[in-house]
Chain A
Amino acid sequence: MRHLGVLARIQLSDEEVEHLAGQLAVIVDNIAKVSEVATPDVPATSHPIPLSNVFRPDEVGRTLTHEQALQNAPDAADGRFRVTAILGEEQ
Chain B
Amino acid sequence: MSDVIRLTAAELAAALAAGEVSSVEATRAHLDRIAAVEPEIHAFLHVHDGAVEAAGAIDRRRASGEVLPPLAGVPLAIKDVLVTTDMPSTSGSRILEGYLSPFDATVVARARAAGLVPLGKTNMDEFAMGSSTEHSAYGPTHNPWALDRIPGGSGGGSAAAVAAFEAPLALGSDTGGSIRQPAHVTGTVGVKPTYGAVSRYGAIALASSLDQVGPVTRTVLDAGLLHDVIGGHDHDDSTSLAEEWPSFADAAREGARGEVLRGLRVGVIRELPDSGFQAGVSASFRAALAAMEAQGAEIVEVSAPHFEYGVAAYYLILPAEASSNLAKFDSVRFGMRVTPHVGSTVEDVMAATRDAGFGDEVKRRIILGTYALSAGYYDAYYGSAQKVRTLIQRDFDAAFAGVDVIATPSAPTTAFRLGEKLDDPLQMYLNDVTTIPANLAGVPGISIPSGLAEEDGLPVGIQFLAPARQDARLYRVGAALEALLVDEWGGPLLDRAPALGGVR
Contact = CB atoms under 8 A, between A and B. Distances in A.
Interface of A: 1, 4-13, 16, 20, 23-24, 26-27, 29-31, 33-39, 42-49, 51, 54, 56, 64, 68-69, 71-75, 81, 83-89, 91
Contacts of A56: 235
Interface in B430-466: 439-443
Given A31-B316, A44-B386, A72-B334, 6 more contacts: A7-B370, A9-B351, A34-B384, A39-B387, A48-B195, A74-B331
A91 B348 CA distance: 13
Contacts of A75: 337
Contact of B387 (A13, A38, A51, A85): A38
Nearest to B320: A27
A54 B238 contact: yes
Interface stretch (B259-267, B352-360, B480-488): B352-360
DSSP class of A's interface residues: helix, strand, loop or mixed? Answer: loop
Contacts of A43: 387, 390
- Most chain-A CB neighbours within 10 Å: which of B323, B333, B367? B367
Contacts of B336: 74
Given A37-B309, A44-B387, A23 B345 contact: no
- Most chain-B CB neighbours within 10 Å: which of A4, A43, A64, A91? A4
B374 interface: yes
B7 interface: no
Contacts of B347: 9, 88
B350 interface: yes
B441 A48 contact: yes
A29 B352 CA distance: 30
Interface string B371-415: 110100000110111111111010000000000000000000000
B138 to A, nearest CB: 19
Contact of A81 (B313, B333, B393, B425): B333
A84 B345 contact: yes
Given A11-B354, A49-B196, A83-B349, A71 B315 contact: no
B367 to A, nearest CB: 5
10 contacts: A1-B367, A7-B370, A9-B327, A9-B351, A24-B368, A42-B390, A48-B439, A48-B441, A74-B335, A84-B346
Contacts of A1: 367
Contacts of A11: 340, 348, 351-352, 354-355
B384 A23 contact: no
A9 B389 contact: no
Contacts of B358: 10
A84 B371 contact: no
For chain B, which range describes its interface: under 10, 10 to 19, 20 to 34, or 35 or more residues? 35 or more
B416 interface: no
Contact of B313 (A34, A68, A72, A84): A34
A90 B340 CA distance: 17
B100 interface: yes
A7 B350 CA distance: 11
- Most chain-B CB neighbours within 10 Å: which of A4, A27, A73, A81? A27
B332 interface: yes
B387 A10 contact: no
A49 B345 contact: no
A8 B391 CA distance: 31
Contacts of B24: none
B102 interface: yes
Contacts of B440: 48
Interface string B199-239: 00000000001100000000000000000000000010011
Contacts of B352: 11
Given A48-B441, A54-B238, A72 B368 contact: no
B62 interface: no
B351 A72 contact: no
A49 to B, nearest CB: 5
Contacts of A68: 102
B372 A10 contact: no
Across chains A and B, which 4 residue pairs bring their CB atoms closest together, nearest first?
Answer: A48-B442, A74-B337, A44-B386, A72-B334
B290 interface: no
Contacts of A6: 351
B344 interface: yes
Nearest to A87: B345
B247 to A, nearest CB: 21
Contacts of B383: 38, 44
A52 B287 CA distance: 44
A45 B393 contact: yes
A49 B442 contact: yes
